[in-house]
Chain A
Amino acid sequence: MPLYVEKKPEVLITEDGVRTDGRKPYEMRPVRMTVGILDKADGSAFIEWGGNKILAAVFGPREVHPKHLVLPDKALVRARYNMAPFSTPERKRPGPDRRSVELSKVIREALKPAIFVENYPGSVIDIFIEVLRSDAGTRVAGVNAASLALANAGIAMRGLVAACAVGRVGDFVVCDPNHDEDMWGDADMPMAMLMEAEEITLLQTDGPMTEEQFREALKLGRNAIRFLYEMQKEALRRPYQVVERSVRGVV
């Protein structure tokens, strides 16, 4: 028996475009990225985005087990998206369900185009995403963290993959849908891009949009992803800040 009952808000978005968490349609929830928080993983990152708290870690390139999965000419890339039992209002049974199997697949396919897999023949790169707390948009948050973890592991990449969801609530196209909009909104469109050449590596849509709305959503998503991409670069540079002095004489 559930101890928590979902309550649908009376208004998802007001006529002047104020959302249930007070945001305007084009506003994103606060984001925080931390790189390298785990000791044993080759690369790791932690993202806090709205109420999401997601940990990503990368191992590899390393030896492939089981052996029959070895690809002789390139690296095997595996990704696992997993939700903690305590990440949802009602306890989630541990272990993969159909949703997490699908998300693992699309996340892998979002990240793989960025990796120079041909540099690591016969090896495997494992990506693990653990959702500790979920609050709408976990897959895109996971992609952002995993991309940072890959870079942190020193894997050769074409560029960073950044991701954000956009959606539609009534007549409004909104950035980074929140929990209410995810549950009761009209459309949801998570997307990820390799920002160097603005190539889309993840795109899913659930809900109808007119051609005009779709164009607006894609453009909004691109801009949001650009913003996150700049953040990612800064998060990676943080431990390696430039130190500069204009020196004439030291004594």
Chain B
Amino acid sequence: MFESEMLTHNLLREYVKDLVSKGQRIDGRGFQDYRPMEVKEGTFTKAEGEAWIKLGNTQVLVGVKADVGEPFPDTPDKGVLVSNTELLPLASPTFEPGPPNENAIEVARVVDRAIRSADAVDMSSLVIVEGKLVYMLFLDMYVLDYDGNLEDALTIASLIALGRAEIPKVEVKEDGEIEVKEEKWRVNLKDLPLNFTFVKIGDQLLLDPVLEEEQVSDAAITLAIDKEGRVCSIQKKHGKFTMEEILNAASIARSKWPEIAEKVREAI
């Protein structure tokens, strides 16, 4: 970091911490408030399902592309789901072109794990011929504008994109040839596992952090809640938490789930 950046960083840290100690946030929200969320209308990709969402100033676009291919040898009775995140250089001055770095890979895996651990996508419904031919779903998560909390934004957009996906039906004829039909089928979402990200500043937990809060935070954690209110995946990132803080985060997340899940259902 350059000296000038170090200076602004330290000033920002003091400013944000000071506000938090007074029970305030830089954008005026309460500690447990989500930023306003908007699902953009229109078609922006050639994906089978897509969602462009704005969470405050964070903007993400997720597309689901389908293909057919061989299943993995150890799961012949299940389809394939591949998740990938691109932290586009146009989304932030700190993102650089090139293959996904550790942050991009972590985010992709955190979203993927929430979806898988809750069995949100019925993987056995993706099988066409067991052991031979299955649908492969590619979940490509594009970050367009980065103002914090990619985990939650990408999870919401991914679920909407999956829920909206319309995939051409495929039939295997007697001679083994594959026929792609005009008819479409829709991915059945059995659950809506939502990620909730908190940062710790001082001794306070802040839900849905903006970029500045992420930058100055002492610790960060993402928890996924399924429709039963169970915690189904966790990723603690930097810093340290007490047990009480984690239980507290889980209960806040649980209480927020219905509100966000309703928005996701509406968008699908």
Q: Chain A residues near B214 (CB, 8 Å)?
A: none
Residue of A57, A86, A95, A134 near B50 (CB, 8 A) is A86
A87 CB, min distance to chain B CBs, angstroms: 6
Interface residues of B, CB < 8 Å — how many? 40
Quick check: which of A37-45, A112-120, A202-210, A243-251 contacts chain B, the rest being far away?
A37-45
Q: Once the chains bind, are B90 and A38 in contact (CB under 8 Å)? A: yes
Query: B89–A91 contact, CB under 8 A?
Result: no
In angstroms, Cα B116 to Cα A227, docked, is 50
Judge whether A84 and B63 touch: CB under 8 Å.
yes
Contact of B91 among A40, A63, A89, A133 (CB under 8 A): A40
CB of A22 within 8 Å of the partner chain: no
Contact A1 B67 (CB under 8 A): yes
- CB-nearest residue of chain A to B50: A86
**Does B138 sit within 8 A of A, measured CB to CB?**
yes
Which single residue of chain B is at the shortest CB-CB distance from A39? B57
Interface pick from A124-132, A167-175, A189-197: A124-132
B86 touches A94 (CB 8 A): yes
In the bound assembly, the distance between CA atoms of A38 and B57 in angstroms comes to: 8
Residues of B within 8 A of A26 (CB): none
Determine the distance from Cα of A3 to Cα of B48 in the docked complex, in whole angstroms: 11
List 29 contacting pairs A-B, 8 Å CB cutoff, sorted by A: A1-B69, A3-B66, A3-B168, A3-B170, A39-B59, A40-B93, A55-B90, A55-B144, A59-B93, A80-B89, A80-B97, A82-B88, A85-B63, A85-B84, A85-B140, A86-B47, A86-B50, A86-B65, A87-B46, A90-B65, A94-B84, A94-B140, A128-B88, A128-B90, A128-B97, A130-B88, A130-B90, A132-B142, A134-B46
Q: A39-B59, A80-B89, A80-B97 are in contact. List 11 more A-B contacts (CB 8 A).
A: A5-B180, A38-B144, A40-B145, A41-B90, A86-B47, A86-B65, A91-B67, A128-B88, A128-B97, A130-B88, A133-B44
